[in-house]
Amino acid sequence: MDPMDQLERAQAWTGAIVAGVHKEDLHEPTPCAEWDVAKLLDHLIADIDTFNRVASGEPLDLVTSITPEENEGRAAPDAAAAFDQVVKRARELWSAPGALERIYKTSRSELPGAGIFNIFLIELLVHGWDIAKATGQQREMPADLAEAELAFTTKMMKDKRMGFAEPVLAPEDASATDRLVAFLGRTP
């Protein structure tokens, strides 16, 4: 699967969800404990920006640099416009020659570009799902994207949860989307 195609499709899917959030949705609870939709939108924008900054060469911590307190208002006044701005930059960075092959420094370690890119896709898709669930929007991700990120996630997170809750059981016949979010601690 072409990484840039994956990125375009993940951003389009999540972008449609972000654009579908209404003002009256902002204080709805989300699957992310203690975060309402407004805080989750702020987090998503800050999260993408943090990944962009790491891809630009800044050795940031991918977890602690995206705390809700420091990122309040990042999605205001127009979450869709803020999302579009940071994802445009992400496309520029990840489509640069050699971006996926480089080794990137974070404050904790060095990671291969392909690994950081997949973590970024997981964040993009799963937080899109969180917002969709909180706002009553369609939650089914493109199946091939969900399958690819589930395969990466289950391999990568064998011993470490890295900011995600413990897995939840999903039914045997669950979709790839439901299996991915369940693995990341969400109730489908």
Within a 10 A sphere around the Cβ of 83, how many other Cβ atoms? 23
Closest-CA residue to 21 (of 77, 66, 72, 88):
77
* Interval 97-112 mean pLDDT: 90
If one compares 61 and 55, the residue with the highest pLDDT of the two is: 55
**SS3 letters across 90-102:** HHHHHCCCCCCCC
pLDDT digits (tens, 9 = 90+) for 124-148: 999 999 999 999 999 999 999 999 9
CA count, 13 A, side-chain hemisphere, 28? 18
Q: How many residues does the chain have?
A: 188
pLDDT for residue 82: 97
Q: What pLDDT is stored for residue 163 in this prediction?
A: 67
Domains detected in the chain: 3-154 (1.20.120.450)
Q: What is the CA radius of gyration of the chain?
A: 15
Q: What are phi and psi of 177, to 5 degrees?
A: -60, -50
Is the full-model pTM beyond 0.75?
A: yes
Written as six digits, the tokens of 114 are 């392909």
CA distance 175 to 23: 30
Mean pLDDT of 174-184: 96
pLDDT number for residue 1: 85
Phi first, then psi, for residue 104 (nearest 5°) are -110, 140
The gap between the terminal CA atoms of the chain, to the nearest Å, is 26
Confidence bin at 108 (pLDDT 50/70/90): confident
Q: pLDDT tens digits for 85-103?
A: 999 999 999 999 999 999 9
The predicted model gives 165-175 an average pLDDT of: 90
Q: Higher-confidence residue: 84 or 68?
A: 84
What is the structure's pLDDT at 63? 67
Is the confidence at residue 68, as pLDDT, over 70? no
Question: Percentage of the chain with pLDDT > 90?
Answer: 75
